[in-house]
Chains A and B, each alone.
Chain A
Amino acid sequence: MDTQELIKNQVTANPVVLYMKGSPKFPQCGFSSLAVQILQACGVQNLTAIDVLQNPAIREGIKQYANWPTIPQLYIHGEFVGGADIMRSLYESGELQQMLENPVA
């Protein structure tokens, strides 16, 4: 399976997927840390966190997958939502909470 297929499987098989640097307990970047904090504030229980520092192929592949050059990246039911800035903006407007409660748009 190539990396793009692997990523597609990951984001469609799991409801909420965050590609990040480090783990939720030990984020290795301020933006990844912020992304985890936002999801925790939303009360997300079913988070699948993928540490790109453990997998160089995914680290590069994820940038092509959504045509998005930075990490973290959030996916809800296979749809790319955005990076940390967009997550913060959607959280402040209440939209992210709705997307997480009603993930099948």
Chain B
Amino acid sequence: MLSASDVRDYILQGLACDHVQVLGDDGTHFEAVIVSPAFVGKNMVQQHQLVYKALGDRMRQEIHALSMRTFTPEAWGKLDVRSA
């Protein structure tokens, strides 16, 4: 069964990220927080498309649902300050 850490590895293989956290233990539904410099200057649709591209066919075959929140390193940094 696909684990959250498998999904994390798949994302990291296809996309250079500063931070990836994936949750989900039913094998098909996952939630991810992804911080990548590749997201700079891109809108939310384009950011999610980069993650989908990294996952490739796995998104069509193995993963039923991936809920994600994407951040640029700068946006993520501001978020950390707020929650600290």
Contact = CB atoms under 8 A, between A and B. Distances in A.
Given A68-B52, A69-B59, A70-B59, A80 B67 contact: no
B42 interface: no
Nearest to A84: B67
B65 A82 contact: no
User: Chain B at the A interface: mostly helix, strand, loop or mixed?
Assistant: helix
Contacts, number: 34
A86 B59 contact: no
A24 interface: no
A91 interface: no
Contacts of A89: 44, 69
Nearest to B65: A31
Interface size class of A (residues with CB under 8 A): 10 to 19
Given A80-B45, A82-B44, A86-B45, A69 B52 contact: yes
A14 B66 CA distance: 28
Contacts of A90: 44
A40 B65 CA distance: 23
Contacts of B59: 69-70
A5 to B, nearest CB: 22
Interface string B27-69: 0000000000000000011001100100000011000011111
30 contacts: A29-B65, A30-B65, A31-B65, A31-B67, A63-B60, A67-B49, A68-B45, A68-B48, A68-B49, A68-B52, A69-B52, A69-B59, A69-B60, A70-B59, A70-B65, A70-B66, A80-B45, A82-B44, A82-B48, A83-B48, A84-B67, A85-B48, A85-B68, A85-B69, A86-B44, A86-B45, A86-B48, A89-B44, A89-B69, A90-B44
Interface of A: 29-31, 63, 67-70, 80-86, 89-90
